[in-house]
Amino acid sequence: MNVLTNTSCRVANKIIRRLQSSSSTASSTVDIKIPDRIERGPTDILRALERTISRDPFTPHYKYYDDPYLIPTSKQTQRQYALSFESGRKTGIWVHQEHAELFRQNIADPTIQEFMPPATYTKKEQVSEEILLSTISEGKTLEALEIYKLLEENVSIKAKQFLLELLCFSNSSNLKQFTFQEESWYMFVDHEKKKHTWKQAAEIKELFNFLISQDAETAAAAYNTLICGKAKYLQTQEAWSLFLQCKENKIPLNVNAYNAIIRIIPYVREVLKEPTSEVFKILKDMNANGIHPNLATLNSSLEIIYTLRSYKIAAEFTYSLLEEFKLLEIKPSLTTYCHILFLENQDSETLITVLEDMLNVLEKNTLELRDSKDINFFPTAMEIVRRESNLELGEKLHELLLKDDNYKFIANAYSENVYYRHYVFLKLAMLPIEKFFEFYYKLSTHIYMPETSIMENILITLQLQSKEVIIENLPKLLSQIKIFTMLDNEHVTKVALDIACRCDIESESPLHKVFASFALDIWHFKQSKSSSIRQVLWNVVILKDIALVLLRASWYNEASEIISFIISHEAPMMGALNVTQINELLEICILQGYASIALHLIKYAMKFDLEETAMMARRVYNVIPLTVAEKEKLISLVGSDVLQLQLSDQH
């Protein structure tokens, strides 16, 4: 035992001496340098972990995981899910506002002001200038006006200036206190459609008249505020007259006021003939007054090109502006690039080159949202790429969108639809069909639900493909049409049924039942929309295709119902079956021995006095084993002479 103990001690001493010698050698040869500390944000670790995970296109968005059975499968249900989610939040806010007495207890530390009951003021003793300033900072315009009136307007000049700024910025309305992200995703604000919405509030006039009667600095601030407000809500003539007053009386303006004036130049009659020269005059005026322009100045100035009819004048104006702002070290934003693309769109020779140069620059930089219209860049660029059929540039643009957090530039559902509409159309036009469907199924599972126009074009392209490609992909597309609630779209269902009818497959193939099930879904869906007040207008070609698909699947009763519906004209119907279409149905009836349906078709042909009716009747009489009742019905339809002629020919 002692031997073992001594041996283990000797081994341990050797290891310790070896470690000591190695550590002393390392310390003598290598300098240990502690790296500088890198400041980290509270979510940096989460972001780093997120980069290690790739997106699975076949899983739904994480926000749906709480309700896996309610995962939306169409655009309509997506919107309903989002709005119902926000409806719950709005209900909570309403209860909080209407029943403030229920929220007296403060259980949060520190206090969460939004959870506290909203304050109500009815007496002058309850309010002060501090409360007024706090209310103004929260954007509660109407409440701030009430407090201002309770104070009998006895507040400082600073408070009056802040109140004027709030009234002008909000157009005398309350600013949104809560951001409903799900709801805002489905809201689209068209910045191009501008309307005159300025409210003539008496308080604005009173505050402005008071402030301009004070010292020069206060008066200048009041003029700047009112010019910005009137220009924002397109009270253009009054904003322009205020600008001229400031020029005449040498009242200094800030950069925001200058930018506002530049934006309304297309709406001012006095300068509409030469808008570019007026922009340069204002820029020179800014330079003379020592006002440094910013990015908003550049983008506001470039909006003028939308009113210019001459490409040469617009190009000269645009690139001279860009050169000047480059000297001022003002970098363009995505909005700036949108303006340039609009300009170059008039010259197709340089458009793609300009866009490619833009993407090369943007790839090297971190994209930031610097203008509210930056969100228009990616849909606009993808539209151009699709129109020019440049797949390589389209892939480059899509990679840029997916880089880092650049997807924030897709700000709403409308922009996403526009972007992916053009992207899918580009892929459909340029890729081999097998590669396209590989891309499409990944995209359409949960990332993007296609519009009806895209589905229709995919089906039209599928019509031109080989039998193998059709058999592989048509069932999947039919399933998507049902899931994405496109059964009410006549263009989509008509093309889909046409492909199903023309698909040459074996009689025992299980696809017949798949096609028949889809056709029956169309029938039931449209019939469910019909009522005594409003009847559905049917296209007779669609009804014929439904019946044909059902007959091929040997769904006799359902096919008989459709044919009876066509003959009876129970609902308004567009078009009529021609000889070829009737014969197409009749051949299957003869092949499968469906005498009653064949007689319905003979009756339809007789109704429209088709010349081939006699030939159809003879074929039915000779091929299908008819009962006595069925023979009598056929004779009553076409007459015995037609059938007797056929009998005499046989003898």
pLDDT tens digits for range 451-470: 999 999 999 999 999 999 99
How many residues in total does the chain contain?
Answer: 651
pLDDT of residue 193: 54
pLDDT in tens, 482-523: 999 899 999 999 999 999 999 888 888 999 999 999 999 999
Q: What is the pLDDT of residue 457?
A: 96
Average pLDDT, the chain: 87
* Structure tokens that stand for 491 in this block: 């263009």
User: What's the one-letter identity of residue 469?
Assistant: V
DSSP character at residue 197: -
Residues 6+ apart with CB under 8 A from 500: 474, 478, 515, 518, 519, 545, 549
- Looking at residue 648, its pLDDT comes to 42
The lowest-confidence range among 44-58, 234-248, 553-567 is 44-58
Most confident residue range from 95-109, 138-152, 423-437: 423-437
Q: Which range (37-46, 175-184, 596-605, 610-619) has the least confidence?
A: 175-184
| Cα–Cα distance measured from residue 429 to residue 541, given in angstroms and rounded to the nearest whole number | 28
Closest CA to 399 of 448, 360, 352, 354: 360
Average pLDDT over residues 178-190: 77
Lowest mean pLDDT among 488-492, 534-538, 614-618: 534-538
Q: Are the beta carbons of 562 and 527 closer than 8 angstroms?
A: no
User: Helix axis angle, 490-502 relative to 467-483, nearest 10°?
Assistant: 150
The four Cα atoms 493, 496, 501, 505 give a dihedral, to 10 degrees, of -150
Closest-CA residue to 436 (of 407, 472, 488): 472
In sequence order, what DSSP letters do the residues of 235-256 get, joined into one string?
-HHHHHHHHHHHHHHT----HH
At which residue do the structure tokens 């070829």 appear? Answer: 580
Query: Residue 646 above 50 pLDDT?
Result: no
The type of residue at 357 is D
Please say if the pLDDT value at position 377 is more than 80. Answer: yes
pLDDT tens column, 323-343? 999 999 999 999 999 999 999
Give the whole-angstrom CA distance, residue 22 versus residue 35: 24
- Average pLDDT score over residue span 419-428: 96
Q: How far is CA 583 from CA 132, 300, 407, 595, 601, in A?
A: 83, 66, 55, 14, 9
Please give the Cα distance from 538 to 215 (Å, whole number).
Answer: 75
Lowest mean pLDDT among 43-52, 569-578, 600-609: 569-578
Task: Give the confidence band of 647 by pLDDT, cuts at 50, 70, 90.
Answer: very low
CA end-to-end span of the chain, whole Å? 123
Q: What is the pLDDT of residue 76?
A: 82
Q: Can you tell me which residue has the tokens 């004209």? A: 569
Beta carbons of 371 and 333 less than 8 angstroms apart: yes
Which residues are within 8 A (CB) of 56 and not within 5 positions of it... i.e. 6 or more apart?
A: none
The model's pLDDT over 41-79, given as tens digits with 9 standing for 90+, comes to 888 888 888 878 877 777 777 777 777 777 888 888 888
- Residue 225: predicted pLDDT: 95
CB proximity list for 2: less than 8 A, separation 6 or greater: none
Specify the residue for token string 């149905």: 585
Does pLDDT of 422 surpass 90? yes
Cα dihedral 307, 312, 316, 319, rounded to 10, equals 80
Q: What is the distance between the alpha carbons of residues 348 and 299, in angstroms, rounded to a whole number?
A: 23
